[in-house]
Structure 1
């Protein structure tokens, strides 16, 4: 049993300190039993050591931000006293032990501060009870991160915990890729003989994370995606040469983004204040001074703010905010021309350059068509759950406000009709492309790509519009760009098969690409964008853009 600490007793206001009859002579109280130095009125554990007793005052800092919170409305009841006992010889109690003895409201306040710069949440943060279970569980998460080139070379290794992960796991991983091919690269979670592996591939670079404990797989995958996005933003691109030239910055970013296997600071705005992006001046100074570190000596002001995703003291001469709807259409059409699947994955991207701390509200005309929504941490959940309105304090600059999916669409903007017949060792190909549903805007950057079967010896393909390119790996690309008004683009030709093969047994799948400016094919429409604190001369803009995603036509 732990010892209890209670606040000093207070004298009631109605009880007089002196006798009402005499102000010079105090009243005598009955004698109290005296306690020996070894006695105590409180129950004490025999093994209790007084020097290990610490008093924790979970008092939150003063919050002056205009955002309405539960603590400001007096919903959470705070307690002033809390005690913890440490059983190891140390001058300070461990963070874990102190947190387990905090009240529920104080625990949630502390952990919200700790996870303020955490990953995106697709649902509200967990309750205090859930946070306690989180801290009582195993603390070790990701153990190591590797960055591999397209040839399997380990470009960067970052050990995250005391348990070192040997590089032999990378050799095993690459051997599996060589033996199993691209199908192994498409598996985000892999169980090796010794570790669980999480992988993503960006621009030919494989981000590989290792762990030996049970953990949420989406957390590891999402963190790797965030690392790739931050590196691409910092280095203005992502390839093998850029990673090697900026090795120090990449390592410093990983140091700040994850701590002891747990994601820590992942907001680009805060990272830019902590670590300066590379430029010519910084590279020259590092060569002259010999100091290659770009880490700032001061802690960013946003880390102690209620809106850690936004930098402090933002000032602009012109206040602007632009909202973009960026969508990708995924569709599958079978060999009979029937639309099997058609859905749109979209993102709402906001580019904000506003002075101060703006409070924005974005509404949609038809928000009910959106499924699988996922928000930036700046979005307040209650307005969305009640009225489907996005209320948020935006980060400074370009960021992804939310993502969504619109399912079960009925049509596609263009059609692709392939016809393949084969006889006597010769295969005839005819592909036609046209507009099925006119979106009202120009459709450009139209491409049709397909892989020729390995049994094809010599292809001979021509098109009446656009250019046809056949690469050494038998990948055929037909670049159409825009569909002319006077004729429908068509691709035709013959394929010579191997000797002894009369008919084509494997039919190719056609990958279609296109781009449409100014139209959201999902039908989603923005209603209005309001600001509670409107600065002078505010400029607002909306834009839509749609491109093809996984658009397949089977033959």
Structure 2
């Protein structure tokens, strides 16, 4: 499988950067760009456009365009033959993560200011045959220097010897692809952040129809030398569908559910997983919603009550959304406990925002809305988004972290956080 090339479009649909497309005619990428822009112009919403667009090129055979949007930019991966689109999407996501690590905020201006760096990254991450090559950020930084004010000033001044980063004498000096050679820190520390997201659907009778929890173990490593770590959990058995960073030794995890690895330097995702509770079909939703929606001629009334099911922690940054239907013009509501609300006449969505729903507390929102249509048809479901700091749905806990290979004693930090996105039907 191979990728024909990559194109980056700005918010007007014009290409600002593209790979070489050495084995394709010059019109090949233009055909796919025009096909995508045409599909976007015909769609009511950009999210309605299929992420994979298939084309038939006379004399060239069938091909496809895989596209993802990040901010104001759209990334296109072109493919032909029997290449799996998931292969292209995986490369696009990896390349986007690389650009974020190099430049931080991604925008057309940022990429234009750093054309030379972006093209070097394209050359290193995607070879002439269309196969992903070096995608490890630590290895790339030994080859392609990240842009900085200091490196640009030194480059203009003609002082090239001072612009090299790290202590490596040449690229790939480390025998471990994901870790630099000779890393040194004054303070040796490593942090683990366990982030979990609950997605679910609740029926109108209040029972959970579908729910799932997906988690990630983020790590930020600032350890000197080449440490070899062993991370053990106290309750890792319910974790399924696990995927790991290439540094993890899979045999150790299969045998005793321990993570044995030599960590990359800096930030990385150590592990991703799905939480499946034993003996229970669904993960419980940490709140209850009691909606009462009455539809009348040219409008209706809303009366919604939210109650937290948590006993010790608070739900934070809660947002409840309801689409009030085509033709809705205004809404006048009253929210309790200093919560806020607003109605967007463009999207016709009512937003109810609560900074914090304390344990076992109740909040309510009520009021009328009006419409230019006689028989209004609001959405039959609320969308509820929330956060719970210092909490994980799986109750995953780190038991201990052992280090070998180095003599110092590192500082360790662990925390958990959860988010949720729930559809509550009425």
TM-score tier after normalising by the smaller chain length: 0.7 to 0.9
Q: Secondary structure at the match of 1:335?
A: coil
Please say if residues 302 and 312 of structure 1, whose CA atoms lie closer than 8 Å, have aligned partners that are also in contact: no
CA distance in 1 between counterparts of 2:360 and 2:425 reads 27
Please say if residues 321 and 354 of structure 1, whose CA atoms lie closer than 8 Å, have aligned partners that are also in contact: yes
Q: Which of 230, 238, 241 is the equivalent residue of 2:98?
A: 230
Say which one has the larger Rg.
1
Q: CA deviation at 1:370?
A: 1.1
Output aligned runs, 1:296-311, within 5 Å.
303=172, 305-311=174-180
1:65-95 C-alpha deviation (Å, 9 max, x unpaired): xxxxxxxxxxxxxxxxxxxxxxxxxxxxxxx
Please say if residues 308 and 359 of structure 2, whose CA atoms lie closer than 8 Å, have aligned partners that are also in contact: no
Q: Secondary structure at the match of 2:362?
A: coil
Q: CA deviation at 1:533?
A: 2.7
Equivalence for 1:23: none
Please say if residues 415 and 436 of structure 1, whose CA atoms lie closer than 8 Å, have aligned partners that are also in contact: yes
Q: Which of 346, 358, 372 is the equivalent residue of 1:498?
A: 372
Q: Secondary structure at the match of 1:441?
A: coil
Specify every segment of 5 or more residues in structure 2 that has no aligned partner in the other structure, as ranges.
58-62
Equivalence for 1:189: 52
Q: Secondary structure at the match of 2:172?
A: helix
Q: Which of 1 and 2 has higher RCO (CA within 8 Å, sep 6+)?
A: 2
Greater shift after overlay, 361-370 or 275-284? 275-284
1:152-190 C-alpha deviation (Å, 9 max, x unpaired): 222222124322433131111121122234475564433
CA distance in 2 between counterparts of 1:290 and 1:148 reads 35
Change (3 A) 1:377 1:300: farther
Change (3 A) 1:300 1:171: farther
Output aligned runs, 1:512-527, within 5 Å.
512-527=384-399
Q: CA deviation at 1:224?
A: 0.5
If each structure's strand is expressed as a fraction of its own residues, which one has the higher value? 2
Answering whether residue 415 of structure 2 is matched by residue 552 of structure 1, we say no
Q: Secondary structure at the match of 1:254?
A: helix
Q: CA deviation at 1:310?
A: 0.3
Equivalence for 2:40: 177
CA distance in 2 between counterparts of 1:223 and 1:322 reads 27
Please say if residues 143 and 159 of structure 1, whose CA atoms lie closer than 8 Å, have aligned partners that are also in contact: no
Q: Secondary structure at the match of 2:109?
A: helix
Count, aligned residues: 409
Please say if residues 208 and 282 of structure 2, whose CA atoms lie closer than 8 Å, have aligned partners that are also in contact: no
Q: Which of 212, 226, 240 is the equivalent residue of 1:343?
A: 212
Please say if residues 221 and 263 of structure 2, whose CA atoms lie closer than 8 Å, have aligned partners that are also in contact: yes
Output aligned runs, 1:522-541, within 5 Å.
522-541=394-413
Q: Secondary structure at the match of 1:208?
A: strand
Q: Secondary structure at the match of 1:404?
A: strand
Q: Secondary structure at the match of 1:337?
A: coil
Q: Which of 143, 149, 168 is the equivalent residue of 2:31?
A: 168
Q: Secondary structure at the match of 1:425?
A: strand
Q: Secondary structure at the match of 1:399?
A: strand
CA distance in 1 between counterparts of 2:135 and 2:409 reads 32
Q: CA deviation at 1:504?
A: 2.5
CA distance in 2 between counterparts of 1:432 and 1:372 reads 36
Equivalence for 1:404: 273
CA distance in 1 between counterparts of 2:101 and 2:36 reads 28
1:15-60 C-alpha deviation (Å, 9 max, x unpaired): xxxxxxxxxxxxxxxxxxxxxxxxxxxxxxxxxxxxxxxxxxxxxx
Q: CA deviation at 1:409?
A: 3.2
Equivalence for 1:413: 286
Answering whether residue 314 of structure 2 is matched by residue 437 of structure 1, we say no
Change (3 A) 1:181 1:512: same
Please say if residues 160 and 259 of structure 1, whose CA atoms lie closer than 8 Å, have aligned partners that are also in contact: no
Change (3 A) 1:313 1:543: same
CA distance in 1 between counterparts of 2:169 and 2:282 reads 46
Q: Secondary structure at the match of 2:29?
A: coil
Equivalence for 1:482: 356
- Normalised to the residue count of structure 2, the TM-score between the two structures is 0.88
Q: CA deviation at 1:254?
A: 1.4
Q: Which of 222, 227, 245 is the equivalent residue of 1:353?
A: 222
Answering whether residue 256 of structure 2 is matched by residue 256 of structure 1, we say no
